[in-house]
Amino acid sequence: MSVDGWHTLLVLGGIRSGKSEFAESLVADAPTVRYVATAPAGDPEDTEWATRLAAHRARRPGSWSTEETAADPGRLVEVIAAAGPNETLLVDDLGGWVTVLLDPAHQPADDTATIAELAGAVRSSTARLVLVSPEVGLSLVPTTPLGRAFTDALGATNRAVADACDAVALVVAGQTAWLKPATPAPAHAVPPAATSPEAEPGRATTPRTDRGHAPAPWAGAPEATPAQTAAPETAPSRTTSGRADFGAGDVTLPEVLTPAAAPVPAPAAHDSSSTGDWAAPTMALPMIATGLVIQPGMELPMPDDYTGPQAVDRLATLDIPGAGLGVLEQVVGFAAATQGTSTPRPWDSVRVLLIQGDHEGGASAGATPGESARRARQARAGRGALARLAAENRAGLQIVEAPVSAPMEDGPALPADEVEAALRYGWRLAEQAADAGVQLLVLAACGAGAEAAAAAVLAATAGAEPPTVLGRVITEQGEIDDTAWMVRCAAVRDALHRTRRSAREAKDVLAELGGGDIALATGVLLGATARKVPVLLDGPVGTAAAMVSRDLAGQARHWCLLPDHGGRPGVRLAADVLGLTPLVDLRLDLGEGATALAALPLLRSALTLAATLPVHPSLGGPGDSDTDDVVGDRTSPGIGEPTGDDDWTGGGAEPDFTEPEPAGPGPTTIGSDEPVFPGRRAD
């Protein structure tokens, strides 16, 4: 992660716009830079082109190294994928790469797959990476087939790489405009703890990019109410339209139901990854009279770039009798990066946020009226799959009621002011959890029509076709309801047609299509990112919120982990766009959030092994010592200790051991032949 808040950046610009000079200035402070040149050599008689290339070479410092990739378009993907976290790469430019990609010498080839491979390498890159690309989409459509093929391929490349990068800048006439995120404000000193944004009018509307520990945006947020105190739960007030009003006065956050848990030993004094450090405040965001301002381009923290790879590399040195943890290595790397230590600890304090919010209209076709409210009451009473799994994992459970969303095919699903209030309310929920020492949030949801709303969000943000991301409708009797599925598809189609000329900004998508539950979930993800609390996603609402949150703060997706896609096509697509790799394929269908809780013990086990196993003796770890148990040693109990009156001390023949009785239910032999299993009669 660079001090500017990004580690992958795409610089766009027209011809002679100054894009290359701007990109070079961004990496000028790096001790070494690998310059990746993609353009082919060109015609030797084209002196003007040779002059351009010479000007580029003349600007490069002597400490930079140059690598040519014009011979093979796949070489650029290999260079980016192989770059380490301590390297800085400058790729100039993607227009030359597309030229090589379309060269007849490299055809036939799947250009779309190659572009996707490039975007995937950029998304997973651990190096500081700057890519330069010409923006040709503002010109007229070329009149030649070759020209159209080039502009189409370059446009697709720019879109894919921009989506994969943390930041995107557009250079026009030497002037830079930040597209993703907005222009970062210059760093400045962190104010003292007693200073609040309200006390400094001059700073009230200025985004803050402090990397230190600043006061929480709202110091007076109410603490979570333990279930043992049985404090009365105050739900959000209801407006005349039937929606929850999150913005009216001081809204009491929902009660947190916490099952009894065994005491957790305190971390060692030297352990810098203590619970308090995980959730420490990281920044102060702009405030106005009505509260926190959530806006595009917010500069939120990123996980540690170095501790994640270090933790994964450390696994290869552990004394493990086998090939290792397999795909669970991703869990270790994720936990290490989010905790800021190469020896991450299992998450002890976990909270489940169950968001209950219905969608009216065709989105809820086939849903049983009142079913989501019944599920929420069931969870509040400690019954049902989600509550039982939360108790099994010693996790707190907080049920949150979201505003009811209007039919999206007829008009906006939620008014703009309620979208703002829902975002702030979700942020406050994450703040409350962080203040209570929660180390991991699990985002759960239940609501009629939620999957259709999530499909509409995916279609608007990722360009997906609604039928491909909308799962089948299953009735309470376990039957497939194709008629309800078609009604849901029609509702999403009509909503997208209605909003075809509307802006596709994050808040616009939430207002027109997403509704209250997805808006609230988006606020939770942003608040958790600001407080460095990782989040387990599980289902369409959580992944749709992650898609929206990337346009408000691109860092949010890096704090999310997806245990399983659950067989849902929309979740699979969102995971691919967000760069999240599902860890398991359980195909459980227990409601959004339950699969994450079912997989949580496995994730904790992987972290326990990574934190407690010693280094292998061949690599300098502890080995057998003289004080270890020895067969026949009567001074200490251990392997080989005789039992009863046996005087054997390891010398002579080893005594015979009698097979013990079965420890539990199993086949019982009757007579000499036939085994009888428990529950069956011998006759």
CA 649 to chain centre: 58
Sign for the CA dihedral angle at 81, 83, 86, 89 comes to negative
Task: Pinpoint the alpha helices (H) of 531-676.
Answer: 540-552, 569-578, 594-612
Please give the structure tokens belonging to residue 180: 């993703």
Task: Pinpoint the alpha helices (H) of 70-194.
Answer: 73-82, 94-101, 111-123, 145-164
- At residue 91, what are phi and psi to the nearest 5 degrees? -100, 120
Q: How far is CA 117 from CA 67, 77, 124, 294, 406, in A?
A: 20, 7, 11, 33, 40
Closest to 518 measured CA to CA, from 556, 544, 554 = 544
Question: In which element (H, E) is residue 453 found?
Answer: helix 450-462
Please give the structure tokens belonging to residue 457: 């969000």
Cβ neighbours, 10 Å, residue 222: 14
User: Side chain identity at 157, as an amino acid letter?
Assistant: T
- 592: annotated active-site residue: yes
Residue 505 CB contacts under 8 Å (≥ 6 apart), including other chains:
296, 551
Q: How far is CA 476 from CA 144, 366, 473, 479, 488, in A?
A: 57, 10, 10, 7, 17
Q: How far is CA 199 from CA 94, 194, 222, 287, in A?
A: 48, 10, 21, 11
Rounded CA-CA distance 465/458 in Å is 9
Q: How far is CA 217 from CA 249, 530, 613, in A?
A: 17, 10, 40
Cβ neighbours, 10 Å, residue 482: 11
Residue with tokens 């075809």: 500
- Is the link from the previous residue into 108 a cis peptide, with omega within 30 of 0? yes
Q: How far is CA 167 from CA 456, 463, 578, in A?
A: 25, 20, 14
Please give the structure tokens belonging to residue 599: 């997989």
Rounded CA-CA distance 535/546 in Å is 10
Q: Which residues does residue 318 pair with via DSSP β-bridges, in sequence order?
A: 615
Rounded CA-CA distance 255/193 in Å is 28
Closest to 259 measured CA to CA, from 133, 351, 153 = 351
**Residue 560 DSSP SS3:** strand
Burial-class residue 9 by CB neighbours within 10 Å (0-12, 13-18, 19+).
buried
Cβ neighbours, 10 Å, residue 120: 17
Rounded CA-CA distance 485/466 in Å is 11
- Catalytic hit among 592, 641, 654, 674: 592
**Residue 394 DSSP SS3:** coil
Burial-class residue 75 by CB neighbours within 10 Å (0-12, 13-18, 19+).
middle
- At residue 622, what are phi and psi to the nearest 5 degrees? -65, 140
Residues with catalytic function = 592
